[in-house]
């Protein structure tokens, strides 16, 4: 988990209710969103694709940084 995310969660995050306790409410919200015309499959695909790309970008940045530090010490 990125340090920025951990700090943000430590600052104002909370674990919330366990999923089984909130399942019925979540199901109602998801149905209402779909009924309002939101293409949830498209939303989920977009979020997943963007999340994967952010991970890849972060990983590439990390490996470049490590490589650069190792080359500087050689």
Residue 19's pLDDT is what? 75
Query: Is the separation of the CB atoms in 64 and 58 below 8 Å?
Result: no
Q: Which stretches within the chain are classed as H helix? A: 3-12, 19-35, 40-73
Note whether residue 68 is domain-resident.
yes
20 domain-assigned: no
Residue-wise pLDDT for 33-65, tens only, equals 999 999 999 999 999 999 999 999 999 999 999
CA of 38: how far to CAs of 25, 33, 34, 41, in Å?
A: 18, 6, 5, 9
**The domain containing residue 61 runs over which residues?**
40-74
Domain count for the chain: 1
Q: Which residues are CB-contacts of 26 (< 8 A; sequence separation ≥ 6)?
A: 19
Residue 55 lies in a domain: yes
72 occurs within a structural domain: yes
Question: 36: which DSSP letter?
Answer: T
* pTM of the complete model beyond 0.75: no
- Residue 60 covered by a domain: yes
């Amino acid at each position: 988990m990125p340090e920025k995310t951990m700090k943000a969660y430590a600052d104002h995050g909370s674990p919330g209710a366990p999923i089984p306790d909130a399942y019925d409410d979540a199901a109602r919200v998801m149905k209402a969103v779909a009924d309002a015309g939101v293409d949830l499959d498209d939303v989920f695909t977009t979020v997943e694709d963007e999340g994967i790309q952010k991970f890849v970008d972060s990983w590439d940045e990390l490996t470049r940084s490590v490589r650069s530090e190792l080359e500087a010490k050689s």
